């Protein structure tokens, strides 16, 4: 009976919100689904506002005089050097597998000599950039989210703000700029190792000279293939750096929020990389 009375009291204390119809003067009772939809819309638009303010702070601190150049170099080393072995191995395997899978189809038409050029164009235009960006979204994005999230939980970011040190200038800006500058370089390494893996795949069932293979490969590649693919990698780096830093910078106070920040950084960054790649392909197709 006491539990029932308490439940009745809670319902009385938390009534369903009502809106007044000014035309008729009657009250309109809102349903729970309507309330949930309004709360979802409020959360969505408040999230957009938070992201906008976060980007505004980054742009402001990027062009400030007190730029953390040493931290920028440290993040470049952390992103580039420590990710290079994984990127090189993945690129070589992708080139090897793509060559082995494509050779039988071209052999049916007697066009095996076109295989180096096809692999080169495919690796440079799409396979190298997108695979490298997705790997970096998983490795770099999650690392940024977890690192900044742990600093948020341990109140290190709050301590920096109290001591009149901008955490955005010291923590976020170097990481975002390092991702923007290093991911295109990692893509170039992935393309190079992918071509090397393709040469190994061709020599598994044939005998092609190393210099002859690369001559045939790059004879089919033009600046129209290389420049757009390189330009979009800068946007990949910006997306990965911004999402990883934002998720870590806005993490909750609990310890489990660190894992949530790292996981959401990977998912959102990977999705946005695919969206940016789709937009870049459409723009390139319109310009050519």
Per-residue model confidence as pLDDT tens digits over 253-280: 777 888 888 898 999 999 999 999 999 9
pLDDT of residue 11: 44
Confidence of residue 2 (pLDDT cuts 50, 70, 90): very low
- Please tell me which residue, 239 or 47, carries the higher pLDDT value: 239
Q: Which domain holds residue 229?
A: 83-287
Residue 31 lies in a domain: no
- Computed over every residue of the chain, the mean pLDDT equals 82
Residue 48 lies in a domain: no
Residue 252 lies in a domain: yes
Residue 40 lies in a domain: no
Confidence of residue 211 (pLDDT cuts 50, 70, 90): confident
The CB density around residue 212, as the number of other CB atoms within 10 Å, is 11
pLDDT of residue 248: 87
Residue 202 lies in a domain: yes
Chain centroid to Cα 124, Å, comes to 19
Q: Where are the alpha helices (DSSP H) in the chain?
A: 2-13, 32-62, 69-108, 115-122, 128-136, 142-153, 156-162, 167, 173-202, 210-218, 223-249, 256-287
* pLDDT value at 28 more than 60: no
Q: Mean pLDDT, to the nearest integer, of 126-130?
A: 92
Residue 9 lies in a domain: no
Q: Mean pLDDT, to the nearest integer, of 146-154?
A: 88
Q: Mean pLDDT, to the nearest integer, of 87-94?
A: 93
The CB density around residue 205, as the number of other CB atoms within 10 Å, is 12
Helix (H, G, I), strand (E, B) or coil at 18: strand
pTM for the whole thing? 0.81
Residue 47 lies in a domain: no
Residue 112 lies in a domain: yes
Domain count, the chain: 1
């Amino acid at each position: 009976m006491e539990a029932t009375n308490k439940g009745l009291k809670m319902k009385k204390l938390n009534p369903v919100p009502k809106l007044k119809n000014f035309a008729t003067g009657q009250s309109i009772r809102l349903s729970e689904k309507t309330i949930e939809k309004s709360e979802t819309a409020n959360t969505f638009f408040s999230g957009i506002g938070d992201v906008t303010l976060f980007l505004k702070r980054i742009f402001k601190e990027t062009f400030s005089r007190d730029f953390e150049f040493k931290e920028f170099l440290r993040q470049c080393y952390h992103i580039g050097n420590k990710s290079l072995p994984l990127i090189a191995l993945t690129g070589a395997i992708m080139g090897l597998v793509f060559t082995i899978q494509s050779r039988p189809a071209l052999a049916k038409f007697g066009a095996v000599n076109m295989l180096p050029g096809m692999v080169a164009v495919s690796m440079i235009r799409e396979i190298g950039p997108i695979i490298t960006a997705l790997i970096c979204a998983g490795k770099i994005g999650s690392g940024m989210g977890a690192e900044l999230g742990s600093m948020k939980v341990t109140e290190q970011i709050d301590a920096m703000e109290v001591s009149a040190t901008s955490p955005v200038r010291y923590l976020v800006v170097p990481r975002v700029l390092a991702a923007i500058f290093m991911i295109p370089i990692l893509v170039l390494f992935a393309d190079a190792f992918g071509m090397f893996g393709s040469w190994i795949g061709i020599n598994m069932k044939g005998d092609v000279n190393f210099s002859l293979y690369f001559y045939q490969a790059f004879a089919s590649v033009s600046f129209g293939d290389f420049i757009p693919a390189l330009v979009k990698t800068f946007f990949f780096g910006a997306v990965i750096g911004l999402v990883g830093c934002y998720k870590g910078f806005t993490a909750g106070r609990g310890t489990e929020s660190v894992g949530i920040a790292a996981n959401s950084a990977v998912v959102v960054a990977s999705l946005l990389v695919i969206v940016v790649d789709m937009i870049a392909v459409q723009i390139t197709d319109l310009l050519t």
